[in-house]
Structure 1
Amino acid sequence: MHEMPLWLPKSYQDLNDLPSENIVYQPKLGGSKVVRTAPGVVIKYRGDLAEEVNCLNFARDHLSIRVPRVLHHPGDVRQSTLWDPRTEELPQVWYICMEEIQGVQLKEVIDSFTPLQLEHVASQIKAILADMHSVPAPHIGSVSGGPFQNSYFFPYAVKPQNAWTKVSDFIDHYHQLLMTFGTEEYAKELLANFPQDCPVNFTHGDLVPRNILVEGSTITGIVDWSMAGFYPEFWEYSRMYDDSEQSKGWSQVLSMIFPGPRLDNQIATFHRLMGTLLYNL
């Protein structure tokens, strides 16, 4: 498919100098930028992306859904002698060069879908979740076998030192983080709505409309696996109800994926926890 040599950047400036029409995705606030460097080839860049490479490769090996194929990555930044975890300064350019999956973000079209199209989307996402949940979960942690490495749920300064075997230990990690700037009563009250014992699943971690690509109402692929890993089942569910991703169409899809009463207390706890940690850490 890719007969021509890959164009690979030597600096962040090389990537930033690409014409604006090459931009595939640019977040409004922070996050990683995605640019097209050749037909069918994109580069995602900003900071350390080694764990996302592991997650992409794991998902491609274990799932039937289309996942971007990694074409090149310069290596694990944390293994570089130039990496300074105190400042997270990156003197070199770190990125993922991967195949581009065709389609548009579901968020761009979902509110124009008919009820039949929304039902089609919901049935596909249910099948994707079932596929992910069929993957054996050996622990709570990274797909590579150790502790979680993503910096959104687990900032580097307070990231876990090991994987866990019990959901209660996962929750206790957040309890300990909350105790660094709050009280015992506050930590217990905030985490009370998370079950202490539940199934652990292979989880995307950000399965929302901007990361679901479609052609018509057919899902062509799932992107942005940077937060993936083995999590308690409530994690994916709560994340899919992200306030910033809610729309009329997505709400209808969620009601079909998860029939029955919405677990509002659990959802609120998740988002309150993320907001609290983001503000204080």
Structure 2
Amino acid sequence: MRRVAIDQVPIAKVPPRVPPLTRFPNARRIYCRNHGSRQIFDLGNRTLYKFRPHKAGVYESDIHALIQATTDIPIPIIYNEWVTLEHNGAQIHHLIMEKVEGEPLHKVWVHLDRPSKERLALQLSGYLNELRRITSPSIRAFDGGPLHDEHGVLFDGRNSARGPFGDNQSLWLALTSHLQESPSGEIQQALINLRSIMPQGFPAVLTHADLHQGNILVHNRCISAIIDWEGAGFFPCWLEYVRYYPTSSSPEFEFEILVMRSMETYPVARRFMTILDALRGPEQWLVNWAIRELGC
């Protein structure tokens, strides 16, 4: 498959005339999180209704459309997507989407034989390789704006939005913004040494950024869908590898270890982010470890 570069703008979204929970009064709530701000309902007709806080410029249907047009990655069909403004000024994001047949991988993994486990790992690594062919010259959100880093996989802190970034230097300044203000001479020398091993992150690639076993659905021992693309964006080309790398070799990471065998590797990026996260963290012993790793 050829490498795909894109520059799309989200299309306008219109709410349905009748709210989903009014149209389907027997809908069953199957998910509730963050004090009710994130909920999913089974509407009973092989469709789901999902709502959550809105992120400016993030429309999953646009991301899905690109993935469906350029890859073989199985994802749910989104039938409708819109945003409402609540009385308190909050924007709420709504989705009506296909209910894909399948169970989350973590629920079925222990019941699978070795060949089935290896087949699933190969499937996922193949899908990730397809996703990597969708590129952007800048690190950014899907719509071209600041990159949302809900889970803090790249920047310092969760739920941040920064960028876009067109080169490694601007990305570096964002990654180390708090550290740059440190009065410590050791920290400043550590930054100089760390900058010298920073890997090239371009071209940026479309990255799921929240890929875990709960977001991988399995049916008949095959991946039936990869879900929850709201955090996707154009991240550094090495981010998915660093994010997905298992933290240990324990049995609970058996699937991830199998997937890593077929992924493009970025060991320098993994070392870079491990040291950076230690420097940015609150634990002084980790800061000291990072400084030693950098030869300061």
Q: TM above 0.5, one fold?
A: yes
CA distance in 1, matches of 2:144, 2:33: 30
1:197 aligns with 2:200: yes
> Cα offset for 1:269?
4.7
| Alignment pair present for 1:40 and 2:46 | yes
Which residue of 234, 240, 243 corresponds with 2:238?
234
**Equivalent residue for 2:63?**
55
Indicate the SS of the match to 1:130: helix
More helix by share: 1
Q: Who is 1:86 aligned against?
A: none
Residues 70/150 of structure 1: CA separation in 2 closer, same or farther (3 Å cut): farther
1:70 aligns with 2:78: yes
Q: CA RMSD in A?
A: 4.2
Structure 1 residue 145 corresponds to structure 2 residue 144: yes
Tell whether 2:20 aligns with 1:8: yes
Q: Please tell me whether residue 159 in structure 1 is matched to residue 161 in structure 2.
A: yes
AA aligned opposite 1:254: V
**Structure 1 residues 94 and 142, CA gap change in structure 2 (3 angstroms):** closer
Moved more, 172-181 or 111-120: 172-181
CA positional deviation for 1:181: 7.6
TM-score (norm 1): 0.71
Work out which of the two has the higher radius of gyration on C-alpha atoms and give 1 or 2.
Answer: 2
The alpha carbon displacement at 1:97 in A equals 1.6
* Residue 291 of structure 2: aligned partner: none
The change in CA–CA distance for 1:250 and 1:168 in structure 2 (over 3 A counts) is farther
Matched, 1:250 2:255: yes
Residue ranges of structure 2 left out of the alignment (5+ in a row): 1-16, 283-296
**Residue in 1 that maps onto 2:95:** 96
Q: How many Å separate the matches in 1 of 2:196 and 2:243?
A: 15
Q: How far apart are residue 229 of structure 1 and its match?
A: 1.1
Contact kept in structure 2, 1:135 and 1:202, CA below 8 Å: yes
CA shift digits 1:56-110 (9 cap, x unpaired): 33333332212222222223x6xx6x69xxxxx5556532221122111111122
What's the offset of the Cα at 1:234? 2.2
- Among 211, 215, 228, the alignment partner of 1:224 is 228
SS in 2 for 1:225: coil
Counting strand residues as a fraction of each chain, which structure ranks higher? 2
In structure 2, the CA distance between the partners of 1:157 and 1:201, relative to structure 1 (3 Å rule), is: closer
Q: Which runs of 5+ in 1 are unaligned?
A: 84-88, 277-281
Report percent identity of matched pairs: 19
Q: Kindly provide the CA deviation profile for residues 119-144 of structure 1, in whole angstroms up to 9, marking residues without a partner as x.
A: 10121112101111112323211121
User: What SS does the aligned partner of 2:238 have?
Assistant: helix
How does the TM-score come out when normalised to structure 2? 0.68
